[in-house]
Structure 1
Amino acid sequence: MEAGWRAVACTHLEAPIPHYREGAVRLQTGTGFFRQDSRPARDLSVLLATHQVSEANRPLRWLDLMAGCGIRGLRWGLEALPETRPELELWSNDADPDRSALLALNLEPLHELRDLSLTTTSWAAERLLRQAYLDQTFFDLIDLDAFGCPNALLQSALAVLRFGGLLILASTDGRSPTGHDRPAAVRRFGAAARAHPASWELALRLQLAALAREAWQLGRGLEPVACFSEGRTFRLAVRLRQRVAADEESQLGLLARCQRCGDQAVQSLLKLSGWGGCLCTDGLGRWAVTGPLWIGPLQKPDLLADLLQIADARPVSLSSAGRRLLERLQTDCGLPVCCWSTAELASRLSLDGPPRLEALVQSLVKAGHRACSSAVMTGQLRTDAPLTVLLQQCVEPSPGDL
């Protein structure tokens, strides 16, 4: 281990702390910030780690950059590694030195695992990443569970991520990418952010765009694996590619919406031209443009299917809420980009209630359009159908209603 890295010894805790059980682990959460309802995101990280182990033919190195009580690292070690495990070097870091004793105590069971090397540190995240780069220490999996916007750490994290490695990213910055703090969106994302019915999805796409730009500056490519939110935290899992894929730059674009008639349009930056007219016939409509943002896929359904198969063999690693999340994400790759709120469509048509989403999807598909329910926000439809067609389908009776 390079000079400068230090292991934190377990010291006496001042008072007993109640234990918490999750997956295959039992630990103390301490008095710091911890959310039990974030388990589906932790389940995903465990399954991604398990999938990476199943494909590995060399030693692996994982980093829990903002470890808190250490629950992710502990679950990785106890749940993701099979009996015939590859050698694993697990790094667990939290910048708060007051958490060091609790972190070391919770991770103590990992010392009993053969072929697992554990390093615990209490460094600022930026310092650890930069030192790792100087030491040429690269990671196969990095979990960056940030408070606020994580963009200041993106390039440093990607610079120490191995080719094919996974970055699991969380952001609690909800105001700027959802259009509620537009100056902050310009500062943090270099983008315009507008209020939109599919605000959670646009926040994820703005974050993906920020990640893609940082990866491209390093000459690397980016592949989204899973992107989701419950409205409070925005979570993404992406894979770093050694090279930029063919036409990958076309996945950066702009999304426009007329606040008056609700019409939407999307353009790639590579083919950017003037915006056509919206549905406002009196010429008073105006496009509100969001971006640059990611206009490519949000999920990798085949990989999510693999994760569900892994969970079938190891049910302890996936909660019922986590399963519902993965099954939902698997049904929606994130394309087409335009999403429509069924409640808004009903309001524009003065209907008594929103149209049945499943029936509307079937009608649009039968009419030759791409359509599916959004996996990011409930009550939303993803389709490439023009708004005129969409409105017409809302008022026509579905086959099940005849």
Structure 2
Amino acid sequence: MTIITEHSIALPIDLPSKDVHAKMDIFYNPVMISNRNISILLLNTINTKELQIADPLAGSGIRSLRFIKELAAGKIGRLCVNDLKPNFPSYFTKRLKDSKIKKTDKIIIENKEASRFLLDQAGFDYIDLDPFGSPNPFLGAAIARLSREGFLAITATDTAALTGTYPQVTRRKYWAEPMHNYLMHEIGLRILIRKIQLQGIQFDKALTPLLSYHKEHYFRIYFQASKGKEKCDALVKQHQYFLHCSSCLQFKNSGYNSEKCSCGKQFSVAGPLSIGALTDQKLIRKMAKNNLFPEETAFLDLLATEATIPQIGYYDLHEIARKLKKDPPRMENILKKIKAVRTHFSGTGIKTMASLEEIKKEFFPIHR
């Protein structure tokens, strides 16, 4: 038994010698510390109080324990913590005691299948779905119990399905064609957003992303719901295809899934997917400013900068260099010259409103 300290909470955990897995007696994933840090930061940044919060797949309960300790006073109205493991209620009660947290009627501990837990409740203002694998099995229940302007946080760790390693799985689970190249993480994230939005539309709930990103081995999206058929229809208009030319590296979004590139080659196609904004610029700037987790500073600053250029897709300097058979220019130089920003999807990627031809000019010394 190892004592794990994660910010305000210490937990006794039996960690496996290799990767974490779903059959652990008490599930705890140390890689997800950043995921939990950012959820706390986001909740402390949005202007809400007395939230009805659900943690349907609590595992070790670390997220909920940290919510109790680290969310601002008055932020939690009621916290419902659930996990299907048979010993979870006694385990979590003991962790409350160890953490010197008084068990009040604001803390509800349940021991049910996650969807049943959600459907047995009246509703929530914030639901955090952090499954091992795909969130698909829990989407319907979560969205059904999400309040009119509630917040839905979703993690997906089945990145192989979303990034095209197994295209048939993408088509079956996410109703879209993936793209297995350097763009696969952004494409996978946008496919996931569309799938979740379609689930919301069934309930006349328009789910707008506030913060979306890929990190480590997972995708993470925070949505805010709003009610109305017109808002849902507007989201559907944002569901298009992404077209990419493997020959010249041009890309675009389109309402059509078969087009030829201007270079004469056929575009590769991904989607349908969401072409809407991945992140709310005001929110991410405020989060970066309010951040109390030093280990998240660089990542939040990167997301805040990236959000200033609303480009679907990005250019990878090393991919362009391979096509041109040239060394890539220094990242700092090209960012200034073509008014580009880095992307969190790739250390060699940039987002810019400049054309591909303008970017290519920077690969030739005469233009530097």
Q: Give the TM-score normalised by the residue count of structure 2.
A: 0.88
1:305 corresponds to 2:285:
yes
Residue aligning to 2:21: none
Check 1:18–1:231 CA distance in 2 against 1; reply closer, same or farther (3 A cut).
closer
* Post-superposition offset of 1:351: 1.5
1:46 corresponds to 2:27:
no
**Separation of aligned partners in 1, 2:331 and 2:277:** 21
Residue aligning to 2:311: 336
Say which is worse superposed, 323-332 or 301-310, in terms of deviation: 301-310
Amino acid paired to 1:391: K
**Over residues 111-166 of structure 1, what are the superposed CA-to-partner deviations in whole Å (9 max), with x where a residue is unaligned?**
5277x61111121112212323xxxx111111111111112321221111112221
**Separation of aligned partners in 2, 1:87 and 1:178:** 36
Amino acid paired to 2:102: E
RMSD: 2.3
1:250 corresponds to 2:225:
no
**Separation of aligned partners in 2, 1:304 and 1:361:** 21
Q: Given that residues 142 and 166 in structure 1 are in contact (C-alpha distance below 8 angstroms), is that contact kept between their aligned partners in structure 2?
A: yes
Check 1:338–1:60 CA distance in 2 against 1; reply closer, same or farther (3 A cut).
closer
Q: Give the TM-score normalised by the residue count of structure 1.
A: 0.81
Residue aligning to 1:212: 197
Check 1:196–1:87 CA distance in 2 against 1; reply closer, same or farther (3 A cut).
closer
**Separation of aligned partners in 2, 1:118 and 1:304:** 29
**Separation of aligned partners in 2, 1:117 and 1:49:** 18
Q: Given that residues 46 and 80 in structure 1 are in contact (C-alpha distance below 8 angstroms), is that contact kept between their aligned partners in structure 2?
A: yes
Residue aligning to 2:18: none
* Post-superposition offset of 1:341: 1.1
Structure with larger Rg: 1
| 2:85 counterpart (90, 93, 96) | 96
1:392 corresponds to 2:361:
yes
| 1:68 counterpart (54, 59, 63) | 59
Q: Given that residues 189 and 210 in structure 1 are in contact (C-alpha distance below 8 angstroms), is that contact kept between their aligned partners in structure 2?
A: yes
Q: Given that residues 44 and 72 in structure 2 are in contact (C-alpha distance below 8 angstroms), is that contact kept between their aligned partners in structure 1?
A: yes
| 1:121 counterpart (102, 110, 120) | 110
How many pairs align?
354
Residue aligning to 1:259: 246
Flag as ranges the 4+ runs of structure 1 deviating above 6 A.
none
Amino acid paired to 2:218: T
**Over residues 10-44 of structure 1, what are the superposed CA-to-partner deviations in whole Å (9 max), with x where a residue is unaligned?**
xxxxxxx4322222222223453422232111011
Check 1:30–1:396 CA distance in 2 against 1; reply closer, same or farther (3 A cut).
same
**Separation of aligned partners in 1, 2:157 and 2:323:** 32
Residue aligning to 1:9: none
Q: Given that residues 288 and 304 in structure 2 are in contact (C-alpha distance below 8 angstroms), is that contact kept between their aligned partners in structure 1?
A: no
| 1:277 counterpart (256, 261, 276) | 261
* Post-superposition offset of 1:382: 1.5
| 1:194 counterpart (179, 184, 191) | 179
Residue aligning to 1:350: 325
| 2:149 counterpart (164, 181, 200) | 164
1:227 corresponds to 2:221:
no
Q: Given that residues 224 and 299 in structure 1 are in contact (C-alpha distance below 8 angstroms), is that contact kept between their aligned partners in structure 2?
A: yes
**Separation of aligned partners in 2, 1:204 and 1:301:** 18
Residue aligning to 1:359: 333
* Identity among equivalent pairs (%): 23
Q: Given that residues 170 and 234 in structure 1 are in contact (C-alpha distance below 8 angstroms), is that contact kept between their aligned partners in structure 2?
A: yes
Structure 2 gaps of 5+ residues are 16-23
Amino acid paired to 1:55: T
Q: Given that residues 258 and 278 in structure 1 are in contact (C-alpha distance below 8 angstroms), is that contact kept between their aligned partners in structure 2?
A: no
Q: Given that residues 316 and 350 in structure 2 are in contact (C-alpha distance below 8 angstroms), is that contact kept between their aligned partners in structure 1?
A: yes
Correspondence list, 1:126-205, <5 A: 126-132=115-121, 137-205=122-190
* Post-superposition offset of 1:186: 0.8
